Amino acid sequence: MSALASAPSESSNPSPPWPFYNGKPGYQFSEKKEGEDDKLGTWRQCDEGTFKVRGCSYLQDKVKIASPPPAFETVSAVGIDSNMALYNVSSRLKQLRTFLESNPDEEFFVSNRAIPIGRKRFRNIIVVAKRTLKKGEDTVFDTTWDSYKNGDDEYKNSRMKFIPGLDNAPWLLRKSVEILGGQRPVIMGKGYLKQKHFMGPNFTEVDVDISSSAIARKIAGQVLPYAASLGLMILEGFVIEGKTEEECPERILEQHQFYAIDTDEDSAELDADDYAIEEGGEEWEGK
């Protein structure tokens, strides 16, 4: 387990409670060792080359290549239930903010998907990743990533690409998800899903409201309720899309996979005192 995601110890100096939100560890980290089977209700890093990305000459020949190791290594994944879609969690969720502030020399990428679960309830799946790719090792990525961070919301919406995958799924479920487009790379912010973007001293955050797309709601409704009972492997990757020769080849920003997650059992209820409401601001309630 990454040191950044270790459990608090009474015998050592107090450490930030994240990712053990409200005493619950959320989705447990499971580093699969060679020869081991996947454990129920866990997440882990994807294998190198799991996702295909645009190669050096993609704009001419449309050839994709296996992605090199991601720029950011996932360190935690937490599910939090609430009566609204959460956003700006890196600053507003106090336990997460404490965690980020306690690691000022690291750079983090934070993604949050707010998934509707009925009766104006949301399951917010918050994934935190730490940059492990040193600056200068991949100048193409450095340039693309800097342009993304310096861009406005419109630019970010046009570049953040989500690559999904579904393994170990029955044929009928896989086909129904494919019909909905659920296994194709998608630029989420190009009129498909409502997104919000936030920056801090050492973090970049993107929040996605799944309720803002009827298709996304259908896909989530077909997959998540059966993830545990069917032992589904849900693969997810983020990449900044390369649109020029100078921005290729692409490199995966962050990637992870969930195995047989029981979202009802593994998520925690939001503590209202832990989430700072913005004075005078409108809450992101979704649909």
Share of the chain above pLDDT 70, in %: 69
Under 8 Å CB-to-CB from 240, ≥6 apart: which residues?
144, 145, 148, 159, 160, 161, 247, 250, 253
Looking at residue 13, its pLDDT comes to: 42
d(CA 246, CA 267): 41
**Dihedral pair phi/psi, residue 233, rounded to 5°:** -105, 110
Half-sphere exposure of 176 (CA within 13 A, CB side): 12
Highest mean pLDDT among 117-131, 186-200, 235-249: 235-249
Provide CB contacts within 8 A for 265, sequence distance 6+.
41, 228
More confident residue, 268 or 202: 202
Q: How far apart are CA 102 and CA 39, in angstroms?
A: 30
Closest CA to 159 of 170, 168, 174, 149: 149
Residues across the chain: 287
Domain ranges of the chain: 15-32+40-268
| Torsions phi, psi for 250 (to 5 deg) | -75, 160
Write phi, then psi, for 199 (nearest 5 degrees). -130, 150
Please compute the mean of the pLDDT values over residues 93-115 and round it to a whole number.
93
Q: Cβ atoms within 10 A of the Cβ of 18, count?
A: 24
Amino acid, single-letter form, for residue 230: L
Task: Give the mean model confidence (pLDDT) for residues 218-240.
Answer: 72
Cis status, amide bond into 16, omega within 30 of 0: no
Full DSSP string of 174-215: HHHHHHTTTTS-EETTTTTSEEEEEE-SSEEEEEEEGGG-HH
Closest listed residue to residue 74, CA positions, set 42, 101, 97: 42
> Which two structure tokens, joined as six digits, stand for 127?
């994934």
Give pTM, 2 decimals. Answer: 0.83
pLDDT in tens, 245-267: 999 999 999 998 877 666 566 67
Residue 7 has pLDDT above 80, yes or no: no
